[in-house]
Structure 1
C-alpha cells in the first residue's frame, strides 16, 4: 500500500464491484444458508415453479444448477455466487468471510452478541470451531464453519 492507503500507480483506479464465489456441492442449499446469515436474498423463482429446486428438476440434466447467486437487497454488499464443483473441501480456506456482528462493541457486551449470533447460526447448521476471547491486543471473535465446512468468522 502506498501513502494514504492507495495502491502505487500513476493513475487512480476506479472502484470495481465484485462478487465472492464459493465452491460447493449444493449451490442452492448453501445460498439459502448464507441468505439467513447475512440477510441476503435469492433471485425470484421463475414462473411456473414454486421453488428453485422444482425449477431445476424440470430442466434437462445438462441445464441443472451449476451456479447460484444471492445478493444484498440494499445493494451495499457484494453478490455471493455458489459454484458446484465435483471435489469436496479438503483444506482450510485461503479466503473467508468475516461476518461483522460485533462492530463497535467491546468486552462482555461484544462477546454476548457474538455468542447469541453463533447460537442462531448453529441452529441453521453452522459449526462453532473456536471462541477467541478478548486479550490485551484483540477483541473477541468466533471461528465457525458453514453447512459445507467453509470457514468464516463472527467478528
Structure 2
C-alpha cells in the first residue's frame, strides 16, 4: 500500500522573490519565517555570498493544507509553453454569467498585480469557462 506524500511545486524564474510575492497575493499564501537564527529574510540574505542572494524564495499556505511553492533563479529565460500549470479555483460551483463575472473580476485583480490576461476559454459541452493567464514572468496558469 502506498502512502500520500507531501510535495512542493517548483518554478524556475529570474526573480524568485518577485514571483513568490505575486503567488502569495494570488493564493493567499505567505512567505515562511526566516531561517532559525535570523530575525528577517534580509538578515539571512545578507549572510550569504553575493552570488547566492536572491537565488530562491518560497511561499506557503498559512493553513498548512496546500503545497509549498518554491522559486529558484535560473540563468535562462522561459522558452515555451509550460508543460505543467496551476489551475486557481476561483469559480468552483459557478456557471454561466456568474462564473464569467467571477473569473473576470479575479483576472482584473491579478492584472493589477502584474499578471497578463491571455484568453477566455468559453464553456462547452464538457467544461465550464476558464481564463488563461500568465504570471509576472510569463508562466501560464488558469483561473478556473
Q: TM-score, normalised by structure 1?
A: 0.85
Correspondence 1:35-114 to 2 at 5 A = 35-45=24-34, 46-47=38-39, 49=40, 52=41, 55-57=44-46, 59-114=48-103
In the other structure, the counterpart of 1:128 is: 117
**How big is the shift at 1:54?**
6.8
**How big is the shift at 1:101?**
0.6
Quickly say closer, same or farther: Cα 1:88–1:54, change in 2 above 3 A: farther
**Greater C-alpha radius of gyration:** 1
Name structure 1 gaps, 5 residues minimum.
1-11
Name structure 2 gaps, 5 residues minimum.
none
User: Over residues 41-100 of structure 1, what are the superposed CA-to-partner deviations in whole Å (9 max), with x where a residue is unaligned?
Assistant: 0023542x5xx4575256421431322111000111100000110000010000000000
Question: Could you say what the CA RMSD is over the residues aligned between the two structures, in angstroms?
Answer: 1.5
**How far apart in 2 are the matches of 1:113 and 1:62?**
42
Give the structure, 1 or 2, with the largest relative contact order (CA under 8 Å, sep 6 or more). 2
**How far apart in 2 are the matches of 1:25 and 1:54?**
22
Query: After TM superposition, what 4+ stretches of structure 1 lie above 2 angstroms from structure 2?
Result: 52-60
